[in-house]
Protein backbone atom coordinates (compact mmCIF):
# COMPACT_ATOMS: atom_id res chain seq x y z
CA UNK A 1 0.00 0.00 0.00
CA UNK A 2 1.31 3.48 -0.76
CA UNK A 3 2.22 5.79 2.07
CA UNK A 4 -0.32 8.55 2.68
CA UNK A 5 0.74 12.00 1.55
CA UNK A 6 0.87 13.24 5.16
CA UNK A 7 3.31 10.44 6.09
CA UNK A 8 5.74 11.07 3.25
CA UNK A 9 9.20 12.41 4.05
CA UNK A 10 9.80 14.74 1.13
CA UNK A 11 13.52 15.00 1.91
CA UNK A 12 13.84 11.21 1.64
CA UNK A 13 11.53 11.09 -1.37
CA UNK A 14 13.65 13.73 -3.13
CA UNK A 15 16.77 11.62 -2.59
CA UNK A 16 15.04 8.44 -3.79
CA UNK A 17 13.74 10.21 -6.90
CA UNK A 18 17.25 11.42 -7.65
CA UNK A 19 18.43 7.79 -7.56
CA UNK A 20 15.50 6.67 -9.74
CA UNK A 21 16.27 9.39 -12.29
CA UNK A 22 19.89 8.24 -12.45
CA UNK A 23 18.85 4.60 -12.99
CA UNK A 24 16.47 5.77 -15.72
CA UNK A 25 19.23 7.73 -17.45
CA UNK A 26 21.89 5.03 -17.08
CA UNK A 27 19.68 2.04 -17.86
CA UNK A 28 20.98 -0.09 -14.98
CA UNK A 29 21.47 0.02 -11.23
CA UNK A 30 25.14 -0.87 -11.60
CA UNK A 31 25.91 2.09 -13.88
CA UNK A 32 23.76 4.35 -11.70
CA UNK A 33 25.78 3.33 -8.64
CA UNK A 34 28.98 4.38 -10.42
CA UNK A 35 27.48 7.77 -11.31
CA UNK A 36 26.27 8.31 -7.74
CA UNK A 37 29.55 7.07 -6.22
CA UNK A 38 27.76 4.45 -4.15
CA UNK A 39 27.05 0.71 -4.26
CA UNK A 40 24.52 -1.21 -6.32
CA UNK A 41 22.95 -2.57 -3.14
CA UNK A 42 22.38 0.99 -1.86
CA UNK A 43 20.73 1.96 -5.14
CA UNK A 44 18.55 -1.17 -4.98
CA UNK A 45 17.46 -0.34 -1.40
CA UNK A 46 16.49 3.20 -2.37
CA UNK A 47 14.49 1.99 -5.37
CA UNK A 48 12.72 -0.50 -3.07
CA UNK A 49 12.01 2.32 -0.60
CA UNK A 50 10.58 4.44 -3.41
CA UNK A 51 8.35 1.53 -4.41
CA UNK A 52 7.00 1.39 -0.85
CA UNK A 53 6.42 5.16 -0.78
CA UNK A 54 4.59 5.25 -4.12
CA UNK A 55 2.86 1.88 -3.99
CA UNK A 56 4.06 1.11 -7.51
CA UNK A 57 7.29 -0.38 -8.83
CA UNK A 58 9.38 2.42 -10.41
CA UNK A 59 10.96 0.12 -13.00
CA UNK A 60 10.19 -2.87 -15.19
CA UNK A 61 13.19 -5.13 -15.82
CA UNK A 62 13.43 -6.22 -19.46
CA UNK A 63 16.37 -8.10 -21.01
CA UNK A 64 18.82 -6.70 -18.48
CA UNK A 65 17.64 -3.08 -18.77
CA UNK A 66 15.61 -1.24 -16.17
CA UNK A 67 12.79 0.50 -18.02
CA UNK A 68 10.81 3.25 -16.32
CA UNK A 69 7.29 2.22 -15.36
CA UNK A 70 4.97 4.36 -17.53
CA UNK A 71 2.84 5.05 -14.43
CA UNK A 72 5.59 7.21 -12.91
CA UNK A 73 6.95 8.79 -16.10
CA UNK A 74 5.26 12.13 -15.39
CA UNK A 75 6.63 12.14 -11.82
CA UNK A 76 10.20 11.49 -12.95
CA UNK A 77 9.97 14.11 -15.70
CA UNK A 78 8.62 16.63 -13.19
CA UNK A 79 11.45 15.84 -10.78
CA UNK A 80 14.05 16.07 -13.56
CA UNK A 81 12.74 19.48 -14.58
CA UNK A 82 12.73 20.73 -10.97
CA UNK A 83 16.23 19.35 -10.30
CA UNK A 84 17.67 21.03 -13.38
CA UNK A 85 15.89 24.32 -12.69
CA UNK A 86 17.17 24.38 -9.11
CA UNK A 87 20.74 23.71 -10.25
CA UNK A 88 20.54 26.49 -12.85
CA UNK A 89 19.07 28.97 -10.38
CA UNK A 90 21.69 28.21 -7.74
CA UNK A 91 24.37 28.74 -10.36
CA UNK A 92 22.84 32.11 -11.20
CA UNK A 93 22.52 33.28 -7.61
CA UNK A 94 25.81 32.17 -6.13
CA UNK A 95 28.65 34.60 -6.81
CA UNK A 96 31.37 32.15 -7.79
CA UNK A 97 34.85 32.63 -9.15
CA UNK A 98 34.39 32.58 -12.95
CA UNK A 99 37.59 30.56 -13.24
CA UNK A 100 36.52 27.95 -10.67
CA UNK A 101 36.31 24.48 -12.28
CA UNK A 102 32.80 23.52 -13.44
CA UNK A 103 32.04 20.35 -15.37
CA UNK A 104 29.75 20.07 -18.39
CA UNK A 105 29.09 16.62 -19.84
CA UNK A 106 29.03 16.52 -23.63
CA UNK A 107 27.89 13.40 -25.50
CA UNK A 108 28.73 12.84 -29.17
CA UNK A 109 30.00 10.21 -31.58
CA UNK A 110 33.73 9.58 -31.02
CA UNK A 111 34.77 10.92 -34.43
CA UNK A 112 33.14 14.29 -33.71
CA UNK A 113 34.73 14.45 -30.26
CA UNK A 114 38.23 13.59 -31.52
CA UNK A 115 38.26 15.38 -34.87
CA UNK A 116 36.05 18.41 -34.23
CA UNK A 117 35.44 19.29 -30.58
CA UNK A 118 38.74 18.54 -28.83
CA UNK A 119 40.85 20.48 -31.39
CA UNK A 120 38.63 23.52 -30.76
CA UNK A 121 38.79 23.44 -26.95
CA UNK A 122 41.06 26.49 -26.90
CA UNK A 123 38.20 28.73 -28.03
CA UNK A 124 35.89 27.37 -25.34
CA UNK A 125 38.44 27.75 -22.58
CA UNK A 126 39.11 31.34 -23.65
CA UNK A 127 35.40 32.17 -23.53
CA UNK A 128 34.67 30.34 -20.26
CA UNK A 129 37.95 29.72 -18.38
CA UNK A 130 36.44 27.64 -15.57
CA UNK A 131 34.56 25.21 -17.78
CA UNK A 132 35.82 21.62 -17.80
CA UNK A 133 34.18 19.54 -20.56
CA UNK A 134 33.66 15.85 -19.86
CA UNK A 135 33.23 13.97 -23.14
CA UNK A 136 31.15 10.80 -23.43
CA UNK A 137 31.09 8.56 -26.49
CA UNK A 138 27.54 8.21 -27.77
CA UNK A 139 26.58 6.66 -31.10
CA UNK A 140 23.15 5.03 -31.20
CA UNK A 141 21.78 6.54 -27.99
CA UNK A 142 18.71 8.73 -28.41
CA UNK A 143 18.32 10.40 -25.00
CA UNK A 144 20.63 12.50 -22.86
CA UNK A 145 21.71 9.77 -20.48
CA UNK A 146 23.93 11.49 -17.90
CA UNK A 147 25.04 14.20 -20.33
CA UNK A 148 24.14 17.87 -20.02
CA UNK A 149 24.07 18.20 -23.79
CA UNK A 150 24.35 15.60 -26.54
CA UNK A 151 24.61 15.34 -30.31
CA UNK A 152 22.28 12.70 -31.73
CA UNK A 153 21.02 11.48 -35.10
CA UNK A 154 17.56 10.52 -33.82
CA UNK A 155 15.47 12.82 -31.65
CA UNK A 156 13.91 11.44 -28.46
CA UNK A 157 10.18 10.82 -28.68
CA UNK A 158 9.24 12.29 -25.31
CA UNK A 159 10.44 14.19 -22.28
CA UNK A 160 11.06 17.87 -21.72
CA UNK A 161 13.94 18.02 -24.18
CA UNK A 162 14.96 21.05 -26.20
CA UNK A 163 16.29 20.26 -29.65
CA UNK A 164 18.31 22.17 -32.20
CA UNK A 165 19.64 21.08 -35.58
CA UNK A 166 23.32 21.93 -35.52
CA UNK A 167 24.64 20.69 -38.85
CA UNK A 168 25.19 17.44 -40.68
CA UNK A 169 27.90 14.82 -40.90
CA UNK A 170 28.88 13.19 -44.18
CA UNK A 171 30.05 9.60 -44.63
CA UNK A 172 31.94 8.38 -47.69
CA UNK A 173 33.57 5.27 -49.11
CA UNK A 174 37.34 5.39 -48.63
CA UNK A 175 40.11 2.94 -49.45
CA UNK A 176 43.92 2.84 -49.39
CA UNK A 177 45.56 4.03 -52.60
CA UNK A 178 45.63 1.20 -55.14
CA UNK A 179 42.58 -0.59 -53.71
CA UNK A 180 40.48 -2.30 -56.37
CA UNK A 181 36.92 -3.57 -56.30
CA UNK A 182 37.07 -7.06 -54.84
CA UNK A 183 39.98 -6.39 -52.47
CA UNK A 184 37.70 -6.58 -49.44
CA UNK A 185 36.05 -4.19 -47.02
CA UNK A 186 35.49 -3.52 -43.35
CA UNK A 187 32.33 -2.32 -41.62
CA UNK A 188 31.02 -1.53 -38.17
CA UNK A 189 29.15 -4.25 -36.29
CA UNK A 190 25.44 -4.81 -36.88
CA UNK A 191 24.64 -2.74 -33.80
CA UNK A 192 25.64 0.35 -35.78
CA UNK A 193 25.50 -0.59 -39.46
CA UNK A 194 22.74 -3.18 -39.88
CA UNK A 195 20.49 -0.76 -41.77
CA UNK A 196 23.17 -0.25 -44.44
CA UNK A 197 24.56 -3.79 -44.69
CA UNK A 198 22.44 -5.06 -47.62
CA UNK A 199 23.26 -2.13 -49.92
CA UNK A 200 26.94 -2.36 -49.07
CA UNK A 201 27.17 -6.12 -49.59
CA UNK A 202 25.41 -5.69 -52.94
CA UNK A 203 27.92 -3.08 -54.12
CA UNK A 204 31.01 -4.89 -52.87
CA UNK A 205 29.67 -8.25 -54.04
CA UNK A 206 30.91 -9.99 -50.90
CA UNK A 207 30.35 -10.04 -47.17
CA UNK A 208 32.70 -7.82 -45.16
CA UNK A 209 36.12 -9.23 -44.38
CA UNK A 210 35.94 -7.77 -40.91
CA UNK A 211 33.46 -6.14 -38.52
CA UNK A 212 34.69 -3.71 -35.87
CA UNK A 213 33.23 -1.63 -33.07
CA UNK A 214 34.46 1.86 -33.99
CA UNK A 215 35.70 3.97 -36.88
CA UNK A 216 39.13 4.12 -35.22
CA UNK A 217 39.31 0.32 -35.45
CA UNK A 218 38.10 0.49 -39.06
CA UNK A 219 40.89 2.93 -39.97
CA UNK A 220 43.49 0.63 -38.42
CA UNK A 221 42.11 -2.36 -40.35
CA UNK A 222 42.08 -0.39 -43.60
CA UNK A 223 45.75 0.52 -43.10
CA UNK A 224 46.97 -2.92 -42.08
CA UNK A 225 44.78 -5.14 -44.29
CA UNK A 226 44.25 -2.88 -47.31
CA UNK A 227 40.47 -2.86 -46.94
CA UNK A 228 37.90 -0.29 -48.04
CA UNK A 229 35.34 1.13 -45.64
CA UNK A 230 32.70 3.77 -45.01
CA UNK A 231 34.13 6.55 -42.83
CA UNK A 232 32.98 9.96 -41.64
CA UNK A 233 34.44 12.41 -44.15
CA UNK A 234 36.04 14.30 -41.25
CA UNK A 235 38.04 11.11 -40.59
CA UNK A 236 38.62 9.83 -44.13
CA UNK A 237 39.78 13.18 -45.49
CA UNK A 238 42.47 13.41 -42.79
CA UNK A 239 44.04 10.08 -43.80
CA UNK A 240 46.65 10.90 -46.46
CA UNK A 241 46.90 7.28 -47.62
CA UNK A 242 43.15 6.98 -48.27
CA UNK A 243 41.28 7.96 -51.42
CA UNK A 244 37.59 8.67 -51.65
CA UNK A 245 35.91 6.17 -54.02
CA UNK A 246 33.24 8.03 -56.05
CA UNK A 247 30.19 6.60 -57.71
CA UNK A 248 29.41 3.80 -55.26
CA UNK A 249 26.07 5.17 -54.11
CA UNK A 250 27.11 4.32 -50.55
CA UNK A 251 27.93 7.89 -49.51
CA UNK A 252 25.40 9.56 -47.26
CA UNK A 253 24.83 12.60 -45.08
CA UNK A 254 22.97 12.57 -41.76
CA UNK A 255 21.61 15.52 -39.80
CA UNK A 256 23.04 16.17 -36.35
CA UNK A 257 20.73 17.40 -33.60
CA UNK A 258 21.66 18.88 -30.26
CA UNK A 259 19.51 18.00 -27.26
CA UNK A 260 19.43 19.29 -23.69
CA UNK A 261 16.85 19.46 -20.94
CA UNK A 262 14.54 22.47 -21.05
CA UNK A 263 15.22 23.21 -17.36
CA UNK A 264 18.79 24.14 -18.35
CA UNK A 265 17.73 26.72 -20.95
CA UNK A 266 18.86 29.64 -18.78
CA UNK A 267 22.13 28.03 -17.67
CA UNK A 268 24.87 30.43 -18.82
CA UNK A 269 27.58 27.76 -18.99
CA UNK A 270 25.38 25.44 -21.03
CA UNK A 271 24.43 28.24 -23.43
CA UNK A 272 28.11 28.95 -24.04
CA UNK A 273 28.79 25.26 -24.71
CA UNK A 274 25.82 25.02 -27.08
CA UNK A 275 27.00 28.04 -29.10
CA UNK A 276 30.54 26.65 -29.19
CA UNK A 277 29.39 23.22 -30.39
CA UNK A 278 27.22 24.77 -33.12
CA UNK A 279 30.18 26.83 -34.35
CA UNK A 280 32.29 23.69 -34.68
CA UNK A 281 29.67 21.39 -36.23
CA UNK A 282 28.85 24.05 -38.82
CA UNK A 283 32.39 23.46 -40.16
CA UNK A 284 32.06 19.70 -40.61
CA UNK A 285 33.34 18.80 -44.09
CA UNK A 286 30.89 17.76 -46.77
CA UNK A 287 31.33 15.01 -49.32
CA UNK A 288 34.00 15.71 -51.96
CA UNK A 289 32.73 17.75 -54.91
CA UNK A 290 33.21 14.89 -57.36
CA UNK A 291 31.00 12.68 -55.19
CA UNK A 292 28.26 15.29 -55.36
CA UNK A 293 28.65 15.54 -59.12
CA UNK A 294 28.39 11.77 -59.46
CA UNK A 295 25.20 11.77 -57.37
CA UNK A 296 23.66 14.64 -59.37
CA UNK A 297 24.50 12.84 -62.63
CA UNK A 298 22.68 9.70 -61.44
CA UNK A 299 19.63 11.73 -60.35
CA UNK A 300 19.46 13.52 -63.72
CA UNK A 301 19.83 10.21 -65.56
CA UNK A 302 16.97 8.66 -63.60
CA UNK A 303 14.64 11.64 -64.00
CA UNK A 304 15.27 12.20 -67.73
pLDDT, position 94: 58
Judgement on whether residues 152 and 296 belong to the same structural domain of the protein: yes
Residue 241 phi, psi (nearest 5): -85, -5
| Whole-number percent of the chain with pLDDT over 90 | 55
- Whether the pLDDT of residue 138 is over 50: the answer is yes
| Domain residue limits at 59 | 5-82
Together in a domain, 175 and 120:
yes
pLDDT one-digit tens code per residue, 63-76: 767 888 999 988 98
Distance CA 298, CA 155 (A): 31
What is the per-residue pLDDT across 208-264, written as a single tens digit (0 to 9) for each? 999 999 999 999 999 999 999 999 999 999 999 999 999 999 999 999 999 999 888
In this structure, are 113 and 248 located in the same domain?
Answer: yes
DSSP reduced 3-state for 269: helix
Q: 261: closest CA among 146, 150, 154, 160?
A: 160
For 25-44, write each residue's pLDDT tens digit. Answer: 888 888 888 888 899 999 99
CA dist list (Å): 238 to 115, 150, 154, 194, 219: 9, 24, 27, 26, 11
Query: Measured at the alpha carbon of residue 119, what is the angle toward residues 271 and 144, in degrees to the nearest 5?
Result: 45
Under 8 Å between Cβ of 169 and 284: yes
* Domain presence at residue 209: no
What's the pLDDT score for residue 95? 52
Residue 226 within any structural domain of the chain: no
Count of the separate structural domains present in the chain: 2
Q: Same domain for 113 and 144? A: yes
Are 51 and 106 found together in one domain? no
Q: Are residues 51 and 169 in the same domain?
A: no
Q: Is residue 249 part of a domain?
A: yes
Among 182, 107, 95, 144, smallest CA distance to 264 is for 144
CATH number of the domain residue 13 falls in: 1.10.10.10
Whether the per-residue pLDDT at 190 is higher than 50: the answer is: yes
Instruction: Give the domain CATH number at 122.
Output: 3.40.190.290
Amino acid sequence: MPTSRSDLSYARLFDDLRVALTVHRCGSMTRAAVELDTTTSTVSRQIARLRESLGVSPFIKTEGDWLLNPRITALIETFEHADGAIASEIGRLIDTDPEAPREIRIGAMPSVIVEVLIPALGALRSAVPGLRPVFENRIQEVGLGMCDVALVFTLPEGGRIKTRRCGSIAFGLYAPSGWQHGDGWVTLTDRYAARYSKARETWFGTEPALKVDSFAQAVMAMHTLGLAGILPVVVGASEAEFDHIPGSGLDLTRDLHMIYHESRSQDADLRCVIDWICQQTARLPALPDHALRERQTRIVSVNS
